[in-house]
Amino acid sequence: MRDAITSLIKNYDVTGRYLDRDAIDNLKSYFQTGTVRVQAAGIINANAAALVKQAGIRLFADLPELIRPGGNAYTTRRYAACLRDMDYYLRYASYALVAGNTDVLDERVLQGLRETYNSLGVPIGPTVVGIQILKEMVREQVAAAGIQPGDWLDQPFDHISRELSERDI
């Protein structure tokens, strides 16, 4: 897993360039948000079970057809699998948050996930809705802890949502 620093240095090293103003600005931003990113990850960790549970409740309140007969989360097993996946996304989003980089999401979560979901008949739209609900709830928790949420907090969740979303249909 790479973080923002190793990714930046690798990109400049591969091209044989010295760090320029953009690279220095990126590094400054990474270090300036470091403490709040770690604090936000701590908040996620301390509240993960409640976040996943409440996100599931909100998701199924917004999309009740998922838990009705024939819905993708109808049986207890499928309902539990949905919550398990939400927990998985939240955990990896927290890793990406600390790293300041979404590479871990690409490598460990997203690679082949859309294809797997499609082959299993798991609807991607509600999955993306659930991820966005998690993002909103994390923003609320972080703000309640006195930390100003920003793009740095949204980035992992938005990256997962964007990469899972349907394209060119």
Q: What is the 3-state secondary structure (H, E, C) of 66-85?
A: HHCCCCCCCCHHHHHHHHHH
- Mean pLDDT across the stretch 149-154? 95
**Tokens 């992992």, located at residue:** 156
User: To the nearest whole number, what is the mean pLDDT of the chain?
Assistant: 94
- pTM to 2 decimals? 0.89
Residue 118 is predicted with a pLDDT of: 87
- Mean pLDDT across the stretch 27-43? 95
129 against 167, higher pLDDT:
129
Q: Cα separation of 35 and 40, whole Å? A: 9
- 61-101 pLDDT, tens digit per residue, is 999 999 999 999 999 999 999 999 999 999 999 999 999 99
Residue 2 is predicted with a pLDDT of: 79
Q: Cα separation of 83 and 57, whole Å? A: 10
Tell me how crowded residue 5 is: count the other CB atoms within 10 A of its CB.
15
Q: Cα separation of 139 and 141, whole Å? A: 6
